[in-house]
Amino acid sequence: MSGGETTCHGLDGQGPSPQSRRMTRTRATAIGFVAVLLWALLALFTVGSAPVPPLQLNAMCFAIGAVIGLVWAAWNGQLSTLRRIPPAAFALGTIGLFGYHALYFAALRNAPPAQAGLIAYLWPLLIVLFSGLLPGETLRPGHLLGGLAGFAGAALIILGGGDSFSLTHMTGYLLALACAFTWSSYSVLSRRFGEVPTAAVGLFCLATAIGSTLLHLAWEQTVWPADAVTWAAIAGLGLGPVGLAFYTWDVGVKHGDIQMLGVASYAAPLFSTIILVATGIAPPSLQLAVATLLITGGAGLAARASMRGARAAAPQPDPLPGVSAPKDE
């Protein structure tokens, strides 16, 4: 199985047992959540990467992310498999990574960052909604309520009680909405390519780095880091939030509980703000406390819904000989 997954077989040798399948799904979900933890470092490292312009920064970071994947593929003898990646999977991955970031930067150029960022952060809720269309997935009320609670918590963090939305920035808002649809669609449709190895993300990162370089040369002036701290921040971005995170996310959305991951993704802005507070970059506030309750409560609702779904899908034991199964009332 792709993405470093191991398949445990039942005692009869006829394939994975229901229990081992749940264990595999749980492990993949945990790996996917690593991406959320890494994305929490995005704001901190981005602050440290100034004054490198956004598209140049994107190109540098995704180049590091591409090296991670290609070195990993070479280490595991998977380079030859990368030549057989289906064109549809390559197109999806490139549009997902490059399209999301290009639209995100364009949105922030045409609208206030807080408002555009909040609209872009509709993607976790859209993942929860779109996942109900996947085979074998059931959208439960707890998933939807959890997603809405998480979005409310993210809104408190991102907007911070600041300016309201203005129709004069409608172009930026529409770009941000397209950004949210791009990442959520990529995440959900990745499930259709579960057989594609996670090492293929290295190719997506490489294509994104090339596309970002071309846009940078067309729209921006090159500014190289001036000191070791800035170089370290860029390296941190490329190794973590804009590198390894996309590989762990690939494992999670392909083989894990995608609805739980969607709701849990709202922890990224929460953890990010906590890190900024801990480092003295941002002050603590009552809004942060309320957002914490909303996001953790939403994750709890989604987790409860997922556990109920797992119990409902688990096969029931056969009744003992001579004992009839109870009838539904």
* Predicted pLDDT of residue 5: 39
Q: Is the pLDDT of residue 6 over 60?
A: no
Handedness of CA 178, 182, 188, 189 (dihedral sign): positive
What would the pLDDT profile of 101-138 be if each residue is shown by its tens digit?
Answer: 889 888 888 888 878 888 888 898 888 888 888 887 77
What the block records as the tokens of 203 is 């190719």
* Predicted pLDDT of residue 326: 46
- Residue whose C-alpha is closest to residue 10's, from 25, 21, 1: 21
Gap between the Cα atoms of 251 and 274, Å rounded: 26
Quickly list H helices, 76-169: 79-82, 87-94, 100-110, 113-120, 123-131, 141-159
Residue range 289-315: mean pLDDT, rounded: 75
Are 1 and 7 contacting, i.e. CB atoms less than 8 angstroms apart? yes
Gap between the Cα atoms of 225 and 222, Å rounded: 10
Of the candidate ranges 58-67, 152-161, 180-189, the one whose mean pLDDT is the lowest = 152-161
* H/E element, 170: helix 170-189
Of the candidate ranges 1-5, 17-21, 225-229, 282-286, the one whose mean pLDDT is the lowest = 1-5
* Predicted pLDDT of residue 200: 93
Q: Is the pLDDT of residue 312 over 70?
A: no
Residue range 232-241: mean pLDDT, rounded: 95
User: What contacts 324, CB < 8 A, 6 or more positions away?
Assistant: none
- Kindly calculate the radius of gyration of the chain based on its CA atoms and give it in whole angstroms: 21
- Residue whose C-alpha is closest to residue 234's, from 39, 93, 64: 64
Measured CA to CA in angstroms, residue 152 lies from 36, 120, 169, 233 at distances of: 18, 14, 22, 30
Q: From the DSSP assignment, how many helices (H) and strands (E) are in the chain?
A: 16, 0
* Predicted pLDDT of residue 246: 96
- Other Cβ atoms within 10 Å of 229 Cβ, number: 11
What would the pLDDT profile of 266-285 be if each residue is shown by its tens digit?
Answer: 888 888 888 888 888 778 87
User: What contacts 264, CB < 8 A, 6 or more positions away?
Assistant: 33, 36, 299, 302
Q: Is the pLDDT of residue 27 over 90?
A: yes
Measured CA to CA in angstroms, residue 38 lies from 90, 154, 242, 314 at distances of: 24, 17, 9, 33
Of the candidate ranges 59-63, 85-89, 226-230, 321-325, the one whose mean pLDDT is the lowest = 321-325
Which residue type does 253 have? V
Whether the ω angle into residue 321 lies within 30 degrees of 0, i.e. cis, is no
Burial class (CB in 10 A: 0-12, 13-18, 19+), 143: buried
- Residue whose C-alpha is closest to residue 269's, from 294, 243, 238: 294
Of the candidate ranges 105-119, 123-137, 217-231, 300-314, the one whose mean pLDDT is the lowest = 300-314
Percent over 70 (pLDDT), the chain: 84
What would the pLDDT profile of 152-181 be if each residue is shown by its tens digit?
Answer: 888 887 777 666 677 788 888 899 899 999
* Predicted pLDDT of residue 208: 96
Q: Is the pLDDT of residue 202 over 90?
A: yes
Bigger pLDDT: 239 or 266?
A: 239
* Predicted pLDDT of residue 1: 32
